[in-house]
Homo-oligomer: A and B are copies of this chain.
Amino acid sequence: MRQSTLFTKTRKEAPSDEVSKNAQFLIRGGFISKEMAGVYSYLPLGLRVLNKIISIIREEMNAIGGQEVHFSSLQEKATWEPTNQWDDKEVDVWFKTKLKNETELGLAVTHEAPITKMLKDFIYSYRDLPQAIYQFQTKFRNELRAKSGIMRMREFLMKDLYSFNVDERAHLMFYEKAKEAYIKIFKRMGIGHLTYLTVASGGMFSKFSHEFQTITSTGEDTIYINEDTNIAINKEVFTDEVKNNLGLGDNFREAKAVEVGNIFTLGTRFSDALNLKYKTENGDSKSVFMGSYGIGPGRVMGTVVETLSDDKGIIWPESIAPFQVHLLAFGGDEAVLKEADKVYDSLQKNNIEVLFDDRSEISAGEKFSDADLLGIPYRAVVSTRSLKDGGIEIKKRTEEKGKVISLDELLKLLAPNH
């Protein structure tokens, strides 16, 4: 894409009401736009990153047998009454609204109940199980405060998967597969080395759940990482009893972290309440055993910015970068512009995603700052000097100095799946 045609522009300063690093960099780079506290919109560069995150998650969910659906945001009172979750005292983040005839509706906080209800049309016998059903869909949560940019939003995209099995044993086998898939996802997104499988409270459903916590000084959670196993325990359940229970000894270090994913055993709470039963091989009727598995793609994006940026801007991992290479052309010199155009065309023909800073009235210094702020993994400069040195100056966002290589070498370096 030619940067001259991109409608967004970078800015030098973030709005003064943004206190979080992720919102500051993402707004300065034109990745997102703020609607109100806790509500952001994705602009073209941000949407490209978001879609790459979604693609990685989708691939891994499909790989463990997930089937994708898309449920509605509007939900009925009757859907959440059986589990007592309609009451604002029980679930305190509802946004509610009304039909013309005064019927109360809720905006999806989560989707366990509607998906369980829908499955009653399709599950009759043990032969219809197991199932794993997932979606990427907006959740609405009426948070009292929202100051963490896209890390804690009132409206946000979530990948939520729900698993349905005949019993706890079958459930746990899937749960382990999901755990492995999650580890893979965070690794692929470039935050694997900072992300810890963390034992947390199981809530109302089971003894423990698992969170995936990424270490960052701005995290809202505190975790204790076991130095021997790299398994962490959330502060909320960090007791001697739990440590002994898990057999983890006493070698822990404390860290601030943000929850980028969680997996839960739901058991039969929803299937009992909503009557999702199946016939066993013996003809008995039994409640389906459920689990729930969430990741917020927007929060992952925010976490990457919080953890992988430097003071000049963002450093996107290649897997989720909006483009693979940022091509910069300097000077009004005809020869330079012609050569840069040629490089741009070659990159595109070779299916290498390139943002081409072809803007004419922008100084070299500004182009360099913009490239650092936008954080595309590779920067390729075509200038009078680079041409004199025999080609294109290539530099990784993480490197201090670049080197001059030929167009052929550039295409080889950036070839998809290199």
- Which A residues contact B (CB, under 8 angstroms)? 5-9, 11, 30, 33, 35-36, 39-44, 47, 50, 65, 67-76, 95-100, 105, 107, 114, 118-119, 121-123, 128, 131, 133, 138, 140, 142, 144, 154-155
- Per the bound structure, the CA–CA distance linking A36 and B133 in Å amounts to 21
* CB pair B114 A35 closer than 8 Å: yes
What are some 21 contacts across the A-B interface (CB < 8 A)?
Answer: A5-B65, A8-B122, A33-B121, A35-B114, A36-B76, A40-B72, A41-B69, A41-B71, A41-B114, A44-B67, A44-B68, A47-B69, A47-B70, A73-B73, A73-B140, A74-B140, A74-B155, A95-B98, A95-B105, A100-B144, A138-B138
Residues in B with CB closer than 8 Å to A42 are 69-71
* CB pair B131 A7 closer than 8 Å: yes
Residues in B with CB closer than 8 Å to A99 are 142, 154
* CB pair B39 A72 closer than 8 Å: yes
* A108 to B: closest C-beta gap in Å: 10
Q: In chain B, what residue has the closest Cβ to A94?
A: B97
* CB pair A9 B142 closer than 8 Å: no
- Per the bound structure, the CA–CA distance linking A183 and B292 in Å amounts to 43
Given contacts A97-B96, A97-B107, A107-B97, contact A122 B70 (CB under 8 A): no
* CB pair A128 B7 closer than 8 Å: yes
Residues in B with CB closer than 8 Å to A121 are 9, 11, 33
* CB pair A138 B35 closer than 8 Å: no
Residues in B with CB closer than 8 Å to A95 are 74, 97-98, 105
Q: Looking at the complex, which one of B43, B76, B122, B155 makes contact with A73 (CB distance below 8 Å)?
A: B155
Interface centre among A69, A123, A142 (most CB of B within 10 A): A69
- Per the bound structure, the CA–CA distance linking A92 and B101 in Å amounts to 13
Q: In chain B, what residue has the closest Cβ to A79?
A: B35
- The quantity of this chain's copies bound in the complex is 2
Q: In chain B, what residue has the closest Cβ to A156?
A: B72
Residues in B with CB closer than 8 Å to A69 are 41-44, 47
Residues in B with CB closer than 8 Å to A74 are 35-36, 39, 95, 140, 154-155
**Pairs of residues from A and B, 6 with the lowest C-beta to C-beta distance, nearest first:** A42-B70, A41-B71, A95-B97, A33-B118, A97-B97, A7-B131
- Per the bound structure, the CA–CA distance linking A8 and B95 in Å amounts to 31
Interface centre among A33, A39, A114 (most CB of B within 10 A): A33
* A88 to B: closest C-beta gap in Å: 10
Q: Looking at the complex, which one of B8, B9, B35, B118 makes contact with A41 (CB distance below 8 Å)?
A: B118
Residues in B with CB closer than 8 Å to A50 are 70
- Per the bound structure, the CA–CA distance linking A121 and B10 in Å amounts to 10
Residues in B with CB closer than 8 Å to A76 are 35-36
* CB pair A67 B122 closer than 8 Å: no
- Per the bound structure, the CA–CA distance linking A42 and B73 in Å amounts to 12
Residues in B with CB closer than 8 Å to A122 are 7-9, 30
* A67 to B: closest C-beta gap in Å: 5
* A201 to B: closest C-beta gap in Å: 24
Residues in B with CB closer than 8 Å to A67 are 6-7, 44
* CB pair A133 B41 closer than 8 Å: no
* CB pair A70 B41 closer than 8 Å: yes
* CB pair B119 A7 closer than 8 Å: yes
Q: In chain B, what residue has the closest Cβ to A99?
A: B142
* A45 to B: closest C-beta gap in Å: 10
Residues in B with CB closer than 8 Å to A71 are 35, 41-42
- Per the bound structure, the CA–CA distance linking A42 and B136 in Å amounts to 12
Q: In chain B, what residue has the closest Cβ to A128?
A: B7
10 A-B pairs besides A41-B69, A73-B155, A100-B142 with CB distance below 8 A are A9-B122, A35-B71, A41-B71, A43-B69, A47-B68, A73-B73, A73-B140, A74-B95, A99-B142, A99-B154
Residues in B with CB closer than 8 Å to A114 are 35, 41
Residues in B with CB closer than 8 Å to A98 are 95
- Per the bound structure, the CA–CA distance linking A410 and B343 in Å amounts to 42
